[in-house]
């Protein structure tokens, strides 16, 4: 175990949400051990702004609920406490867990409901960079698993044997790619080798979890690198054959995509927006995944564009868990993009009022703008529609 005192690390209470501090302090005053844990400690170490703040404690879920009137217990596989604060802040509180008992013939983790010690809890986490604790009692960082070393080396490494950790929970492979891409870290050699060897185990994971993690990959501001790592690891071929075939040159290319790089060019524009604080909605992201394929089918001039969209979406977006509502929005956006493209080539003095009045007009125009930027198109067409 390595303990870094306050002068040896950059984690500061100033950057911890007020609700999380209140939970930590109340648990500590009630006589419980309580640490800030996981991604929030990692991000504070990297001087990034955490998305949320999770806490781990010696208090049992029912004890946490007694301390906080604004607390709800959730979860079946493992009981968690959610403490709600005004403004929508939710602090997740978990009790220290120990290493689960596994069937050596089938390592898939189906039950994780045994309480343990802080050290046991650290070792049952997925990656070393997510295994750090911040102690509110003395403002130290506690490192049982070598997380500080790997943050400094900018490495994503599983805690203990990677083959075992990925077989326990195959979704961890997608999470490794998420952390490597958004943090610009390298995946450690053994961890990467294990991912490539057990990639087919991803089909053992609950489909909704896989779909949610895949969609999140596109939202982190590093979708280009995430897609590359998905492909190089073999996970993309396992999960989404349409995108895999596109990346490997199978099928036709459109005039807008002679080198087969359009998808990366589109995603690069989205990454720029995400990193500027303009997080795109998922239907917009799904549109960009489909657009290169549709253009190869001459989407802008095809006789049945709605059918083209529907058939492709049913095949290519299933892996991302797109809902029927998402599918409908994707169809609306892409059909509007087609109208934008056609309208820009015509000599009408004004844009069609019916399209301008649609609730999805601005979002569709964003898709069109990204397309024009990625292909070097005429951005004056946007002014024609906005005007």
Does 265 participate in catalysis according to the annotation? no
Q: What are phi and psi of 133, to 5 degrees?
A: -115, 140
The 10 Å CB-count burial string (b at 16+, else e) for 300-329 is beeeebeebbeebbeebbebbbbeeebbeb
Q: What is the pLDDT of residues 246-278, one digit of tens each?
A: 888 766 788 888 888 999 999 999 999 998 888
Q: Residue 103 class from Cβ within 10 Å (0-12 exposed, 13-18 middle, 19+ buried)?
A: exposed
Whether residue 135 lies in the annotated active site: no
Residue 231 known to be catalytic: no
Helix 324-343 to helix 305-316 angle, to the nearest 10 degrees?
140
Catalytic residue among 43, 126, 257, 271: 126
What pLDDT was estimated at residue 112? 52
Catalytic residue among 43, 54, 121, 201: 54
**Spans in the chain with pLDDT lower than 70:** 77, 100-113, 250-251, 344-351, 387
CA 154 from chain center: how many Å? 19
Closest CA to 137 of 209, 31, 229: 31
pLDDT at position 381, please? 80
In this predicted structure, what is the pLDDT of residue 113? 57
Q: Are 234 and 199 in contact (CB under 8 A)?
A: yes
Q: What's the pTM?
A: 0.88
Instruction: Say what the pLDDT of residue 374 is.
Output: 94
- Do residues 60 and 67 touch, judged by C-beta distance below 8 A? no
pLDDT for 371 equals: 95
């Amino acid at each position: 175990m390595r303990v870094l005192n306050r002068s040896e690390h950059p984690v500061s209470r100033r950057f911890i949400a007020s609700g999380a501090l209140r939970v930590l302090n109340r648990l500590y005053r009630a006589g419980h051990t309580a640490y800030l844990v996981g991604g929030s400690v990692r991000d504070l170490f990297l001087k990034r702004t955490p998305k949320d703040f999770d806490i781990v404690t010696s208090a049992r879920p029912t004890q946490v609920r007694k301390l906080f009137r604004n607390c709800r217990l959730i979860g079946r596989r493992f009981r968690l406490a959610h403490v709600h604060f005004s403004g929508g802040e939710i602090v997740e509180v978990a009790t220290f867990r120990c290493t689960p008992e596994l069937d050596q013939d089938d390592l898939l983790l189906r039950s994780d409901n045994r309480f343990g010690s802080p050290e046991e809890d650290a070792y049952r986490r997925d990656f070393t960079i997510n295994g750090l604790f911040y102690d509110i009692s003395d403002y130290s960082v506690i490192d049982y698993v070598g997380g500080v070393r790997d943050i400094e080396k900018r490495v994503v490494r599983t805690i203990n044997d990677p083959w075992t950790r990925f077989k326990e929970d195959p979704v961890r492979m997608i999470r490794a790619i998420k952390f490597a891409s958004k943090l610009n870290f390298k995946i450690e050699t053994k961890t990467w080798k294990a991912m490539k060897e057990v990639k087919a185990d991803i089909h053992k994971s609950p489909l909704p979890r896989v779909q949610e993690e895949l969609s999140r990959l596109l939202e982190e501001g590093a979708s280009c690198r995430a897609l590359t790592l998905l492909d190089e690891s073999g996970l993309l071929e396992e999960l989404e054959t349409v995108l895999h075939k596109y990346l490997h040159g199978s099928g036709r290319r459109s005039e807008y995509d002679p080198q087969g790089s359009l998808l990366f060019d589109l995603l690069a524009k989205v990454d720029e927006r995400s990193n500027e604080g303009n997080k795109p909605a998922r239907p917009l992201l799904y549109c960009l995944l489909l657009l290169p394929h549709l253009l190869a089918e001459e989407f802008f001039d095809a006789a049945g564009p709605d059918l083209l969209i529907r058939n492709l979406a049913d095949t290519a977006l299933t892996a991302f868990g797109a809902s029927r509502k998402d599918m409908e929005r994707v169809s609306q956006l892409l059909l509007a993009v087609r109208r934008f493209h056609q309208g820009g080539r015509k000599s009408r003095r004004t844009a069609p009022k019916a399209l301008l009045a649609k609730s999805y007009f601005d979002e569709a125009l964003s898709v069109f703008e990204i397309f024009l930027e990625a292909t070097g198109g005429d951005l004056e067409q946007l002014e024609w529609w906005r005007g």
